Amino acid sequence: MSQDSILSILKEYWGYDGFRLQQEQIISSVVAGHDTLGLLPTGGGKSITYQVSGLARGGLTLVITPLIALMEDQVNALLHRGIRATVLHSGLTPSEVSIRLNNAVLGIYSFLYLSPERLQTVSFLEYLPQLNIRLIAVDEAHCISQWGHDFRPPYRKIAMLRELLPNVPILAVTATATPLVVKDIISNLELRTPKVYSASFKRPGLQYAVIEEERQEQRTIRILQKIDGSAILYIRTRLGTELVAGALRKAGISALAYNAGLSASERQKRQEAWMQGKVRVMVATNAFGMGIDKNDVRLILHFGIPPSLEEYYQEAGRGGRDGKGALALLLYRKEEIETGWKQLQAQRFSEEEIMRFYQNLRDYCAYAEHLPSTNETVFNVNEFTHRFTWEKERFNSLLVLLQQNEKLTFRTPNSPEFAIRIIEQREAIEALRRNDKLYNSLFQYLLGKYEGITKHHHIIPYYRVLKSELQIAPKELHEILQRLHNTGYIHYMDLHGALYLQLENATTFDFDFSYWKEVHRLKEERYEKMLAYINSHGVCREAFLRTYFGEELSEAEQHCKRCDVCLHIK
């Protein structure tokens, strides 16, 4: 396909007259059928590279990305442009998944978005040979590397598509990858002689600054009173987001907290309020930000020290995307440096400790209740930590460690769920429905919406029922279902607050302790680099970041003339 044809796609659907950064080179490489790795900064238009490439190649583009909210945002944006797209995620019923996959087989969609976990499901693999896949796009590709800052084990499974679809090119894109991570992406995705294109990590208009500050809230309020526009404040803890958001509102600044402790629907509602400008400041943990595309953010402020420059750069890069400037300010207290080191030390474990934890998990899972229709254990963290005397912090760290080493998988639902199966005979159910209007409405809803609910369990988010015509409050719904369970009409499990865990099927515990020690050493090294950035009184902040990500800078590029270091030197 000619460059004019590619440009015509961009113009027709996005209204742009030309590409920016390395977009055109990446797209041309993919359209020619080459495996390609694109390194574009946050806000650099990564999604356009695989969306234009997919339209140019025709057929179906498989887009693998980690967050449901990110998938849905991109699908809605494509639909708004008249491009056919859909998404598969855990919030869909089995029948909804089947309908979308059948439509994909029929060629109705140009883009199919899904998570790396979905790739491994039987339902998807059954359909895979029938799909006309012409491109595989891997977004947030750094998630595949243990050397990176955001490793997600399911990304390692993406490489199976290379064997199943050997002639389909792969495009991997990311905003944060050091040279070591780049090598890992290429290796783990099994990219074949890939073309690698890297745009500069320079962010024109973004002003970096670091301040040691004990009175962070007061300083923040003063800054927000001087700077117009939207803002994101990043804080390491959930409680911190709530407290600071409250302090800002008390000072007359509209603000909301955003953290993983909120329900998915509440997070979505708050994100939309901020995106639409109804709320000025989002006070968030790092649960907020991936896929956010808001141009007029004038302040990115970090309370405390991020664990790595990768995470800091990605978050700071959400400011000033319209090119009109933004302040990326990091406030820290001296004692927080030591706190960071202590948190890293809390992730140090002996080989014996890791093995004991794994055995405790096996003992617990042997007797705990399992999620109907799966091999996942319904896991009560408080019960486990009390029974086997584990501190919560070490439990969390060890669980993540074993997941990263593929000894187990665990997940928490995006919103509270329950498991249900109708077990009483049809005649008994009909008699119950005749005698009670509420029961009649409930069973009419369940039997109509969930095919096969009399044969196997369905996992249903509470919000689905709440948004239905039933209009039953969560507490009342729980009481009704529990009553039906106790009287033998249904089998019901309240999964509120549960963690779902599945251990690997292995008779021996094979763990590469030396490899894990190396990964942990690199975590400490990344934190040291983060501290070096904070203390870089004689080195331009932007130059420091660009060099860290592997850029070679000319003498003229050693000073951005905007950051606090350059202004002080000046």
* H, E, C per residue of 450-510: CCCCCCCCEEEEHHHHHCCCCCCCHHHHHHHHHHHHHCCCEEEEECCCCEEEEECCCCCCC
Would you state the torsion angle of the CA atoms of residues 45, 50, 52, 56, taken in this order, to the nearest 10 degrees? 160
Cα–Cα dist 44/517, whole Å: 35
> For position 148, what pLDDT does the model report?
66
324 token code pair: 């009109």
CA angle 23, 145, 391 (to 5 degrees): 135
Sites in the chain below the pLDDT cut of 50: none
Cβ(527)–Cβ(341) below 8 Å: yes
- 173 CB-side CA count, 13 A: 28
> For position 149, what pLDDT does the model report?
64
What are the beta bridge partners of residue 63?
113, 137
pTM above 0.85, yes or no: no
Radius of gyration of the chain (CA): 25
Element (H, E) at 38: strand 36-39
In order of 232, 234, 296, 534, the CA distances from 326 in angstroms are 11, 15, 9, 19
Please report, as a single letter, which amino acid is at residue 435.
N
Please report, as a single letter, which amino acid is at residue 371.
L
Task: Give the start-end residues of each E strand in 218-268.
Answer: 230-235, 255-258
Closest CA to 265 of 255, 276, 254, 273: 273
DSSP-derived 3-state class of residue 217: helix
Residue 366 has a CB neighbour count (10 Å cut-off) of 9
b/e map 391-423, b = 16+ CB within 10 Å: eeebbebbbebbbbbebbbbeebbbbbbbbbbb
Closest CA to 497 of 420, 439, 415, 431: 415
Cβ(519)–Cβ(147) below 8 Å: yes
Cα–Cα dist 382/455, whole Å: 33
Element (H, E) at 501: strand 499-503
> For position 202, what pLDDT does the model report?
87
Would you state the torsion angle of the CA atoms of residues 148, 40, 33, 52, taken in this order, to the nearest 10 degrees? 130
Residue 269 has a CB neighbour count (10 Å cut-off) of 12
Estimate the crossing angle of helix 426-435 against helix 437-449, to 10 degrees: 140
Estimate the crossing angle of helix 238-250 against helix 216-226, to 10 degrees: 50
Residue 257 DSSP label: E
Task: Give the start-end residues of each E strand in 213-269.
Answer: 230-235, 255-258
